[in-house]
Amino acid sequence: MKTTTPNASPAILANTRPRKLSIIRILLYIVLIGVAIIQLLPLVWLLLFSLKDNQEVFNLPPLALPTDPKWENYAKVWTEGNIGLYFLNSVIVTGSAVILTVLLASFVTFALTRMRWKLSKLVLGLFMVGLMIPVHSTLIPLFNFFLNVGLMDHPLAIILTYTAFNLPLTIMILLGFYYTLPRELEEAAIMDGCSIHRLFFQIILPMTAPVVATTAIINMIYNWNEFVFVNTFISSDKYKTLTVGIQNFIGQYSTDWGAIGATLVISILPILLAFIFLSNRIVEGITAGSVKG
């Protein structure tokens, strides 16, 4: 004799669905917390590393607390290591390159998307080719070029290099937003007698503020952390940036590892703070041009 089990009522099914969703959400939070902890471990390790001397660096476990925190490592790198000068050089080079890159990229994107001319597609293709060129393959040609024009050991060589290599990515990010801008605003401005320069600086550029901020942040992170170009083109201490200045604490016979850690902490603080406070702006700017309307 067969027995049949009654089907579950809709009420029971409705009660089990929220439980499944809550379990999935809890598991997702656990995974995200684990990923966040893994991401924060290097920062914690670096902070502890900067408060140790050479003996503690090699004898203690990586995440062990220092027996006597060496806060004087920070004072040492700021006074004896010229970190203040290197920090200022990084600010000047990074700020100049970011402003120049964003401004030139905005000019190019405006000309490509809002003007009609025959070679616009070819020019856009040439800029996009720049994304495929390996950065380090240009070191020798750039070295010879700057040597011939007298820009070796000069901050302008670094600023021009950063600008040239960041232009393709910046233009690519700006393109998506510029295509969504309504042309009716431009037509109205031109009907009112607005010149092309006023149209760009007073109407278009303010409207693109979110995506401009995004590209500025991305460029700032790249320029601030760059090492190879500065190490190749700059030899004088007065022009070195933070990433290269760390080498001052590496000697032939001894290395001050605590001072190196303190320098690294100082160097990542601006980028870390910028990412913490402006991370939402980065996402907002990248997705700004993805939906029209």
Q: CB–CB of 127/174 below 8 Å?
A: no
**Spans of all domains in the chain:** 10-50, 72-287
- CA 33 remoteness from chain centre: 24
**What is the band of 258 on the pLDDT scale with cuts at 50, 70, 90?**
confident
Helix (H) or strand (E) holding 96: helix 83-114
Report how far residue 192's alpha carbon sits from residue 232's, in angstroms, rounded to the nearest whole number.
Answer: 52
Report how far residue 58's alpha carbon sits from residue 53's, in angstroms, rounded to the nearest whole number.
Answer: 9
The one-letter amino acid at 272: L
Report how far residue 239's alpha carbon sits from residue 158's, in angstroms, rounded to the nearest whole number.
Answer: 10
Provide the β-strand partners of residue 250: 255
Q: What is the pLDDT of residue 293?
A: 46
Q: What is the pLDDT of residue 1?
A: 47
Q: What is the pLDDT of residue 30?
A: 93
Mean pLDDT for the chain? 84
> Mind listing the pLDDT tens digit for each residue in 232-242?
999 888 899 98
The one-letter amino acid at 199: L
Report how far residue 239's alpha carbon sits from residue 229's, in angstroms, rounded to the nearest whole number.
Answer: 13
Quick one: average pLDDT of 121-149? Answer: 90
**What is the band of 282 on the pLDDT scale with cuts at 50, 70, 90?**
low
Residue 86 has pLDDT above 50, yes or no: yes
Between residues 150 and 283, the one the model is more confident about: 150
Q: Choose the weakest-confidence range: 162-166, 192-196, 217-221, 280-284.
A: 280-284
Residue 16 has pLDDT above 60, yes or no: yes
Q: What is the pLDDT of residue 208?
A: 87
Here the tokens at position 40 are 């924060």
> Mind listing the pLDDT tens digit for each residue in 20-69?
778 888 899 999 999 989 988 999 999 999 999 888 888 888 888 888 88
Residues of the chain with pLDDT > 90, as a percent, come to 30
pTM greater than the 0.85 cutoff: no
Q: CATH homologous superfamily of domain 72-287?
A: MetI-like (1.10.3720.10)
**Rounded (10°) CA dihedral 99, 161, 80, 250:** 140
Q: CB–CB of 135/165 below 8 Å?
A: yes
